[in-house]
Amino acid sequence: MPQLLDDQAMWDFIADGYTVVHADFPSEFHAQIHRDTEAVFAERGNVGNGILAAVPELAEVFEHSAVSGALTSVLGPGYRAYPHRHCHLNAPQSAAQAMHLDSYEADENNRHHRARWAMAFYYPHDIDDSMGPTSVVPRAQYHSTRPSNDEACFTGAAGSVCIVHYDSWHRATANLSDVPRYMHKWLFIRTAEPAEPSWDHSESSDPDCPATADLDSHDHRGMWASLWNWHCGGVDEGHGDGAEVADLCVALSDDAETVRLNAAYALGRVGERAVAPLVDALRDEADRRLDGNLAASMTNPSHLYAGYALSAVGAPAVPALTDALESDSWAVRAAAANTLGDIGRSAADAVPALAQRLDDEEPWVRRNAAEALGHLGVEHGVGALGQLLTDEVEWVRLNAAVALTRIGPRAVAALPQLVAALGDEAYYVRANAAHALDAIGAQPAHDALTAYLAACSDY
């Protein structure tokens, strides 16, 4: 049985961005993985995604009840390992890395605050501060620019696993020892929007967490409470808060990211009364920040603070965002698609309009609409998603495959296109098409998947 997080551990994950568990296999189990990892590096170097084939016991680590329980708590039942794995070697006497955010492999995902992606860091050997452990910056995972918070080093005994919000700031610290440090990193994705708490939850311990009135505060209690509500299956949180909407909309463009974030979630608490000015703000921000977002590395053009606010508003924002899918500006269409997907289940009425955007002339719109339909997880649009598997843009094809994975058995109509995508030139399209076939579960899908896995060398 998975060892689920309790309420305090889940709250700490939402606020801090990580939690640490231990895969308590016998010490010899981890020692053998350590030896096998060293042998791979000595004989072949870093094999990237091939590390699982080289050290298959790694799968048992991430299936351990403590690890799977933490991942279930964070990503919900039915989460999946994403087809990207990497073993990081921090050689003796190596300098520290720069603090950084990870890119999304072969994609420019929007950095959603809601936990749909996570990383897991596993040490197959004991590690202390001198050996160059990985560090994370607590409470920085919702910031696109690093705040001044101190970093926390992840150390511990062999078998320690740190589950991390995908957008956490992290780095390898300096290895001051004479011992190589190995850390296996795996990625995981949510496949279904939360309908109820997926951890060991007690209603009596829901946080009494009034938001601070100081927009400049690094105490993001309003944001954390909104995310807790989402993880609990809450569909929206607006309750007619009396905040001054105009002032908060201005604050969405403040120079300080802390102010922008707090303003976004304060507007989320306002609810329906904030929708019209927020959609105006989204249109303005999408066009105004377009060139800067496109020029920035690892940035989706729909990374917008008005979008976070509208996601927090939830269902009342859906009609206006659906209308925005028809904007003459592709940046606005892409932003509307992204925000509807981030709202999730409450945006079900927008599914037909999102499906129409899969044929948009702009690849960012097609990409964001495909991702949104995956979050909504409904059958409508499966045919168009299947057609998108032949799109000229790799990251559009990739998102179509991931969306079909999330839709699962209801995506059976796309089976022929998914089988064809197993021959795609791009690894992450092939691998995600394989995951989608596995999620569909029908016998023809499994037959195609079995043949693919027997023939491939890169999975």
Q: Which residue has the higher pLDDT, 404 or 110?
A: 404
- Tell whether 260 and 143 lie within a shared domain: no
- Tell whether 214 and 180 lie within a shared domain: no
- Tell whether 219 and 165 lie within a shared domain: no
Is residue 382 domain-resident? no
- Tell whether 185 and 216 lie within a shared domain: no
Cα separation of 227 and 129, whole Å?
Answer: 32
- Tell whether 150 and 236 lie within a shared domain: no
- Tell whether 305 and 163 lie within a shared domain: no
Q: Which residue has the higher pLDDT, 55 or 235?
A: 55
Of the residues 126, 159, 189, the one at which a domain ends: 189
Mean pLDDT, rounded, for 103-126: 94
Share of the chain above pLDDT 70, in %: 96
CB crowding 76-115: b at 16 or more within 10 Å, else e: beebbbbbbbbbebbeeebeebeeebbebbebbbbbbbbb
- Tell whether 149 and 76 lie within a shared domain: yes
Mean pLDDT, rounded, for 79-93: 97
pLDDT of residue 299: 87
- Tell whether 184 and 217 lie within a shared domain: no
Q: Treating both helix axes as pointing N-terminal to C-terminal, what angle do 427-440 and 443-455 enclose, rounded to 10 degrees?
A: 150
Name the residue with tokens 């609409």: 369
- With beta carbons less than 8 A apart as the criterion, state whether 38 and 87 touch: no
Cα separation of 239 and 236, whole Å?
Answer: 9
- Tell whether 219 and 176 lie within a shared domain: no
pLDDT of residue 215: 81
Alpha carbon 217 to its chain's center: 25
- Tell whether 174 and 218 lie within a shared domain: no
Give tens-digit pLDDT for 305-320: 999 999 999 999 999 9
User: What DSSP assignment string belongs to 275-296?
Assistant: HHHHHHHHHHHHHHTHHHHHHS
Categorize the per-residue pLDDT at 455 as very low, low, confident or very high, splitting at 50, 70 and 90: confident
pLDDT of residue 43: 98
Q: What is the CATH number of the domain that holds 104?
A: 2.60.120.620
- With beta carbons less than 8 A apart as the criterion, state whether 147 and 218 touch: yes
Give tens-digit pLDDT for 132-148: 999 999 999 999 998 78
Average pLDDT, the chain: 94
Is residue 214 domain-resident? yes
Of the residues 189, 221, 238, the one at which a domain ends: 189
Of the residues 320, 348, 376, the one at which a domain ends: 348
Categorize the per-residue pLDDT at 453 as very low, low, confident or very high, splitting at 50, 70 and 90: confident
Give tens-digit pLDDT for 279-292: 999 999 999 999 99
Is residue 157 domain-resident? yes
Q: Which residue has the higher pLDDT, 219 or 126?
A: 126
Q: Domain range for residue 168? A: 7-189
Give tens-digit pLDDT for 6-61: 999 999 999 999 999 999 999 999 999 999 999 999 999 999 999 999 999 999 99
Q: How many residues are recorded in the chain?
A: 459
Total domains in the chain come to 2
- Identify the H or E element spanning 161: strand 160-165
Alpha helices in 344-442 (DSSP H): 351-356, 363-376, 382-388, 394-407, 415-421, 427-440
pTM (2 d.p.): 0.96
Cα separation of 272 and 233, whole Å?
Answer: 19
Is residue 375 domain-resident? no
The set of residues, in sequence order, having a beta carbon less than 8 Å from that of 308 and lying 6+ positions away, is 113, 261, 264, 265, 268
pLDDT of residue 208: 63
pLDDT of residue 163: 99
- Is the pLDDT at 391 greater than 80? The verdict is yes
Handedness of CA 96, 98, 99, 101 (dihedral sign): negative
Categorize the per-residue pLDDT at 149 as very low, low, confident or very high, splitting at 50, 70 and 90: confident
pLDDT of residue 386: 98
Cα separation of 131 and 160, whole Å?
Answer: 15
Is residue 369 domain-resident? no
Cα separation of 214 and 217, whole Å?
Answer: 5
Could you tell me which of 172, 111, 161 has the C-alpha nearest to residue 136? 172
Is residue 363 domain-resident? no
Is residue 73 domain-resident? yes
- Tell whether 263 and 179 lie within a shared domain: no
Cα separation of 424 and 429, whole Å?
Answer: 6
- Tell whether 155 and 224 lie within a shared domain: no
Cα separation of 160 and 21, whole Å?
Answer: 6
Is residue 240 domain-resident? yes
Cα separation of 209 and 78, whole Å?
Answer: 30
Q: Strand 160-165 to strand 152-153: parallel, antiparallel, or no bridges (unpaired)?
A: unpaired
pLDDT of residue 451: 83
Q: Strand 181-189 to strand 80-90: parallel, antiparallel, or no bridges (unpaired)?
A: antiparallel
Handedness of CA 21, 82, 80, 305 (dihedral sign): positive
